[in-house]
Amino acid sequence: MQEYNTQLPIIKLPEYGRNVQSLVNYCKTIPDREKRNACARAIVEIMGDLYPDLAAVSGRKNILWDHLSVIANQELDIDYPCEVMQQEELSSKPAPLPNTQSPIRIRMYGKRMEGLVKYALTIEDKEKRIELFELIANQMKRNFHDTYKEASEDDKKILQDLAYYAGEEFEQEIMQIKLLDKKVLSTNNQYDPATLVVTKKKKKKK
Protein backbone atom coordinates (compact mmCIF):
# COMPACT_ATOMS: atom_id res chain seq x y z
CA MET A 1 0.00 0.00 0.00
CA GLN A 2 1.35 3.43 -0.95
CA GLU A 3 2.31 5.69 1.93
CA TYR A 4 1.33 9.37 1.66
CA ASN A 5 3.08 12.26 3.40
CA THR A 6 -0.21 13.26 5.03
CA GLN A 7 -0.20 9.92 6.84
CA LEU A 8 3.37 10.35 8.15
CA PRO A 9 4.42 12.11 11.37
CA ILE A 10 4.70 15.89 11.23
CA ILE A 11 8.16 17.24 10.38
CA LYS A 12 9.52 19.66 12.96
CA LEU A 13 11.25 21.87 10.36
CA PRO A 14 9.73 21.14 6.93
CA GLU A 15 12.31 23.25 5.10
CA TYR A 16 14.94 20.55 5.69
CA GLY A 17 12.70 17.78 4.39
CA ARG A 18 11.67 14.38 5.68
CA ASN A 19 15.03 12.73 4.95
CA VAL A 20 16.85 14.98 7.43
CA GLN A 21 14.10 14.33 9.98
CA SER A 22 14.58 10.58 9.48
CA LEU A 23 18.37 10.93 9.86
CA VAL A 24 17.93 12.79 13.13
CA ASN A 25 15.45 10.17 14.37
CA TYR A 26 18.00 7.48 13.52
CA CYS A 27 20.79 9.43 15.23
CA LYS A 28 18.79 9.43 18.46
CA THR A 29 18.77 5.61 18.46
CA ILE A 30 22.59 5.14 18.19
CA PRO A 31 23.74 3.76 21.54
CA ASP A 32 27.42 4.73 21.28
CA ARG A 33 27.91 8.41 22.21
CA GLU A 34 30.94 8.99 19.96
CA LYS A 35 29.17 7.51 16.95
CA ARG A 36 26.07 9.56 17.81
CA ASN A 37 28.20 12.73 17.94
CA ALA A 38 29.76 11.86 14.57
CA CYS A 39 26.35 11.23 13.06
CA ALA A 40 25.06 14.56 14.38
CA ARG A 41 28.03 16.41 12.86
CA ALA A 42 27.37 14.77 9.50
CA ILE A 43 23.70 15.76 9.65
CA VAL A 44 24.63 19.39 10.39
CA GLU A 45 26.93 19.37 7.35
CA ILE A 46 24.06 18.09 5.20
CA MET A 47 21.80 20.82 6.58
CA GLY A 48 24.48 23.40 5.71
CA ASP A 49 24.69 22.06 2.16
CA LEU A 50 20.92 22.43 1.82
CA TYR A 51 21.14 26.10 2.84
CA PRO A 52 24.51 27.46 1.72
CA ASP A 53 23.29 31.02 2.22
CA LEU A 54 23.59 30.43 5.96
CA ALA A 55 27.36 30.40 5.47
CA ALA A 56 27.19 34.19 5.17
CA VAL A 57 25.31 34.50 8.44
CA SER A 58 27.26 35.21 11.60
CA GLY A 59 27.10 32.22 13.90
CA ARG A 60 26.08 29.88 11.07
CA LYS A 61 27.03 26.77 13.01
CA ASN A 62 25.02 27.91 16.00
CA ILE A 63 21.93 28.31 13.82
CA LEU A 64 22.32 24.83 12.33
CA TRP A 65 22.87 23.23 15.72
CA ASP A 66 19.80 25.07 17.03
CA HIS A 67 17.84 23.64 14.11
CA LEU A 68 19.18 20.16 14.77
CA SER A 69 18.03 20.42 18.38
CA VAL A 70 14.59 21.53 17.24
CA ILE A 71 14.29 18.67 14.74
CA ALA A 72 15.28 16.25 17.49
CA ASN A 73 12.68 17.80 19.80
CA GLN A 74 15.54 18.56 22.26
CA GLU A 75 15.92 14.80 22.78
CA LEU A 76 19.30 14.26 21.06
CA ASP A 77 21.90 13.44 23.73
CA ILE A 78 25.15 14.63 22.15
CA ASP A 79 28.06 16.95 22.91
CA TYR A 80 26.88 20.12 21.25
CA PRO A 81 29.81 22.36 20.17
CA CYS A 82 27.83 25.44 21.21
CA GLU A 83 24.95 26.35 23.47
CA VAL A 84 21.61 25.64 21.80
CA MET A 85 18.23 27.17 22.50
CA GLN A 86 16.15 25.43 25.11
CA GLN A 87 12.47 24.54 24.80
CA GLU A 88 11.49 27.44 27.04
CA GLU A 89 13.18 29.92 24.70
CA LEU A 90 11.64 28.33 21.61
CA SER A 91 8.12 28.34 23.01
CA SER A 92 8.24 31.83 24.51
CA LYS A 93 6.64 34.60 22.49
CA PRO A 94 8.56 37.83 21.86
CA ALA A 95 7.34 40.93 23.64
CA PRO A 96 4.87 42.94 21.53
CA LEU A 97 6.33 45.95 19.76
CA PRO A 98 5.26 49.27 21.25
CA ASN A 99 2.96 51.42 19.15
CA THR A 100 5.01 54.54 18.42
CA GLN A 101 2.40 56.14 16.19
CA SER A 102 0.15 58.76 17.72
CA PRO A 103 -3.56 58.49 16.83
CA ILE A 104 -4.85 60.35 13.78
CA ARG A 105 -8.37 61.68 14.20
CA ILE A 106 -9.21 61.77 10.47
CA ARG A 107 -6.75 59.57 8.63
CA MET A 108 -7.33 60.84 5.08
CA TYR A 109 -6.02 64.29 6.07
CA GLY A 110 -2.95 62.93 7.82
CA LYS A 111 -1.29 63.90 11.09
CA ARG A 112 0.35 66.92 9.54
CA MET A 113 -2.94 68.79 9.15
CA GLU A 114 -3.63 68.51 12.88
CA GLY A 115 -0.24 70.03 13.62
CA LEU A 116 -0.86 72.92 11.22
CA VAL A 117 -4.24 73.64 12.80
CA LYS A 118 -2.65 73.71 16.26
CA TYR A 119 -0.15 76.24 14.94
CA ALA A 120 -2.93 78.35 13.39
CA LEU A 121 -4.66 78.53 16.76
CA THR A 122 -1.61 80.27 18.22
CA ILE A 123 -1.89 83.17 15.71
CA GLU A 124 -3.55 86.14 17.41
CA ASP A 125 -4.04 88.22 14.26
CA LYS A 126 -7.48 87.17 12.99
CA GLU A 127 -6.84 87.92 9.32
CA LYS A 128 -3.57 85.98 9.27
CA ARG A 129 -5.22 83.11 11.15
CA ILE A 130 -8.09 82.93 8.65
CA GLU A 131 -5.60 83.09 5.78
CA LEU A 132 -3.77 80.08 7.18
CA PHE A 133 -7.07 78.28 7.86
CA GLU A 134 -7.92 78.81 4.17
CA LEU A 135 -4.63 77.28 3.03
CA ILE A 136 -5.07 74.34 5.41
CA ALA A 137 -8.66 73.78 4.25
CA ASN A 138 -7.60 73.73 0.59
CA GLN A 139 -4.91 71.17 1.37
CA MET A 140 -7.47 69.10 3.28
CA LYS A 141 -9.75 69.29 0.24
CA ARG A 142 -6.93 68.07 -1.98
CA ASN A 143 -6.22 65.18 0.40
CA PHE A 144 -9.93 64.37 0.51
CA HIS A 145 -10.21 64.13 -3.27
CA ASP A 146 -6.96 62.18 -3.53
CA THR A 147 -8.63 59.57 -1.29
CA TYR A 148 -12.12 59.79 -2.82
CA LYS A 149 -11.38 60.63 -6.47
CA GLU A 150 -14.99 60.32 -7.64
CA ALA A 151 -16.51 62.28 -4.78
CA SER A 152 -18.54 65.39 -5.65
CA GLU A 153 -17.69 68.86 -4.37
CA ASP A 154 -18.45 69.05 -0.66
CA ASP A 155 -16.76 72.12 0.77
CA LYS A 156 -19.05 72.13 3.79
CA LYS A 157 -17.71 68.72 4.83
CA ILE A 158 -14.11 69.95 4.58
CA LEU A 159 -14.83 73.07 6.62
CA GLN A 160 -16.73 71.09 9.25
CA ASP A 161 -13.73 68.79 9.62
CA LEU A 162 -11.42 71.79 9.97
CA ALA A 163 -13.73 73.26 12.59
CA TYR A 164 -13.64 69.91 14.38
CA TYR A 165 -9.84 70.20 14.53
CA ALA A 166 -9.90 73.86 15.64
CA GLY A 167 -12.80 73.78 18.07
CA GLU A 168 -16.13 75.57 18.40
CA GLU A 169 -14.47 78.90 19.17
CA PHE A 170 -13.22 79.18 15.57
CA GLU A 171 -16.14 77.53 13.77
CA GLN A 172 -17.77 80.78 12.64
CA GLU A 173 -14.69 82.18 10.89
CA ILE A 174 -13.84 78.80 9.35
CA MET A 175 -17.31 78.25 7.87
CA GLN A 176 -17.00 81.55 5.94
CA ILE A 177 -13.93 80.34 4.00
CA LYS A 178 -14.28 79.91 0.23
CA LEU A 179 -12.35 76.94 -1.13
CA LEU A 180 -10.76 76.50 -4.53
CA ASP A 181 -12.39 74.27 -7.12
CA LYS A 182 -11.30 70.62 -7.08
CA LYS A 183 -9.93 70.84 -10.64
CA VAL A 184 -7.93 73.95 -9.76
CA LEU A 185 -6.41 72.21 -6.76
CA SER A 186 -5.44 69.14 -8.79
CA THR A 187 -3.86 71.11 -11.65
CA ASN A 188 -2.46 74.17 -9.89
CA ASN A 189 1.21 73.30 -9.50
CA GLN A 190 1.86 76.69 -7.99
CA TYR A 191 0.02 75.53 -4.87
CA ASP A 192 2.76 74.07 -2.70
CA PRO A 193 1.48 71.90 0.19
CA ALA A 194 5.01 71.58 1.58
CA THR A 195 5.15 75.27 2.46
CA LEU A 196 1.44 76.10 2.28
CA VAL A 197 2.12 79.00 -0.04
CA VAL A 198 0.07 79.97 -3.09
CA THR A 199 2.24 81.80 -5.60
CA LYS A 200 1.17 83.57 -8.72
CA LYS A 201 2.36 82.31 -12.06
CA LYS A 202 4.80 84.61 -13.74
CA LYS A 203 3.63 86.15 -17.00
CA LYS A 204 5.65 85.17 -20.02
CA LYS A 205 7.36 88.01 -21.83
CA LYS A 206 6.09 88.58 -25.32
134-165 residue pLDDT tens: 989 988 888 887 777 777 767 888 899 999 99
- The two beta strands, 191-192 and 197-198, are antiparallel
- The model's pLDDT over 39-79, given as tens digits with 9 standing for 90+, comes to 999 999 888 888 777 655 655 667 888 889 999 988 999 99
Q: Which among 182, 191, 173 is positioned nearest to 133, based on CA atoms?
A: 173
- The model's pLDDT over 195-204, given as tens digits with 9 standing for 90+, comes to 444 444 444 4
Q: Can you tell me the distance from the alpha carbon of 80 to that of 40, in angstroms, rounded to the nearest whole number?
A: 9
pTM given for the model: 0.44
